[in-house]
Amino acid sequence: MNVRFLEAFVWVAKLGSFKAAAEKLHTTQAGISSRIATLEEQFGVRLFEREHRGVMLTWHGTELMPHAERMMEMQSRMLAAMGAPAAFTGQLRIGVIETIAHTWLPALLSRFAERYPNATLELISDITPRLRDELLRGTLDCAILSEEITQGFIDNRRLANFAMGWAASPARALTFPARAQLSFADIAQHPIISFHRESSVYRNIAQNTAGCANLRVSYFSSLGAMVDMARSGFGAALLPVCAIQQDLEQGRLVLLDVAPQPMPLPVVASFRMEPASPMAEALVAMAQSANDDFVAASRRDILAP
């Protein structure tokens, strides 16, 4: 039996449509339909009920599902056990928060390509809530985000806690009160550059806004845009220190000493355990190694105490 046909069956069942499964497996909807039709002919039963809104598993389809998932996992683990990573020819879809995209992601992807030269990657960079939703839907195989996912079929690995800091251009920093430590009220007198409202990082700002009547917050989903705005002198930005090391070293940005100290940014690698993917597990292990190497090579204290 062709395991690719079982793979098509599993993803149609998980994603609820032939079209979504075709996008996941990078083939055509007709190709997925053909694979499912072949399976139904081999087994002599209907596996899906077709409806205008999608498809649902029949009783026979529900019975087949755990066996199909085990077959997929067995094939992947068999290749891994035989020491044949070059035999992996599938695609791995990963999502990352922008902090990782701007730090150790290139090192991670290089390691993955070296170990799995015939596999392909599809990368999405977004905020944690959206990456979490995509991982739960099954459109991502693994994600590197800023919080753990509590659902039972997700495995979470905490990689690090990165320090967050208030940063501004040297010219903007001169406009703050001349004292050793600033308060959030001091920061709030200037334009604030923040991650998107849905991000966990924004909580650092939201929990201190009481009594700040003239608060001016500009929200961004792009870390690069935030850094550019801070460099320009637009305002103070709450940023992961690890992502602005070069700017700090070259004097384009300075860190402001602000109390209370911002909460750190957790870095968590999460992957789906159903169906299991040895490639996803391997990528998470490589992510830990890439993170550790990045921290060891950094010239600033980027880890939260």
* Three-point CA angle 197, 200, 201, nearest 5°: 80
For residue 211, is it within any domain?
A: yes
Same structural domain, 148 and 173: no
When mean pLDDT is compared across 67-81, 192-206, 275-289, the lowest value belongs to 67-81
- Does 21 score more than 90 pLDDT? no
Tokens 């596996």, located at residue? 47
What pLDDT does 83 receive? 60
Same structural domain, 188 and 256: yes
Please write the tens of the pLDDT for every residue from 173-182.
999 998 889 9
- Does 82 score more than 60 pLDDT? no
Confidence of residue 78 (pLDDT cuts 50, 70, 90): low
81, 115, 150: which is the final residue of a domain? 81
For residue 305, is it within any domain?
A: no
Beta bridge partners of 145: 268
Same structural domain, 148 and 272: yes
Same structural domain, 141 and 287: yes
Q: What mean pLDDT do residues 262-272 have?
A: 92
CATH number at residue 145: 3.40.190.10
Same structural domain, 27 and 70: yes
What pLDDT does 95 receive? 96
DSSP letter for each residue of the chain: --HHHHHHHHHHHHHSSHHHHHHHHTS-HHHHHHHHHHHHHHHTS--EEEETTEEEE-HHHHHHHHHHHHHHHHHHHHHHHTT-GGG---EEEEEE-HHHHTTTHHHHHHHHHHH-TT-EEEEEE--HHHHHHHHHHTS-SEEEESS---STTEEEEEEEEE-EEEEE-HHHHTTS-SSSSEEHHHHTTS-EEEE-TTSSTTHHHHTT-TT-TT--EEEES-HHHHHHHHHHTS-EEEEEGGGGHHHHHTTS-EEE-EESPPPPEEEEEEEE-SS--HHHHHHHHHHHHHHHHHHHH-SS--B--
What pLDDT does 207 receive? 81
Same structural domain, 145 and 291: yes
Same structural domain, 106 and 248: no
Q: What mean pLDDT do residues 70-74 have?
A: 76
CA-to-CA distance for 28 and 37, rounded, in angstroms?
14
Domain that holds residue 196: 164-263
For residue 49, is it within any domain?
A: yes
Closest by CA to 114, choosing from 126, 122, 106, is 106
CB 105 within 8 A of CB 39: no
Please write the tens of the pLDDT for every residue from 104-149.
999 999 999 888 888 888 899 998 999 999 998 888 889 999 999 9
What pLDDT does 150 receive? 85
Confidence of residue 89 (pLDDT cuts 50, 70, 90): low
End-to-end C-alpha distance for the chain, whole angstroms: 54
Same structural domain, 155 and 285: yes
What pLDDT does 256 receive? 95
What pLDDT does 14 receive? 82
What pLDDT does 108 receive? 95
- Does 276 score more than 90 pLDDT? no
CA-to-CA distance for 201 and 259, rounded, in angstroms?
16
Considering its fold, how many domains does the chain have in total? Answer: 3
What pLDDT does 225 receive? 94
What pLDDT does 233 receive? 96
Closest by CA to 146, choosing from 83, 100, 88, 193, is 100
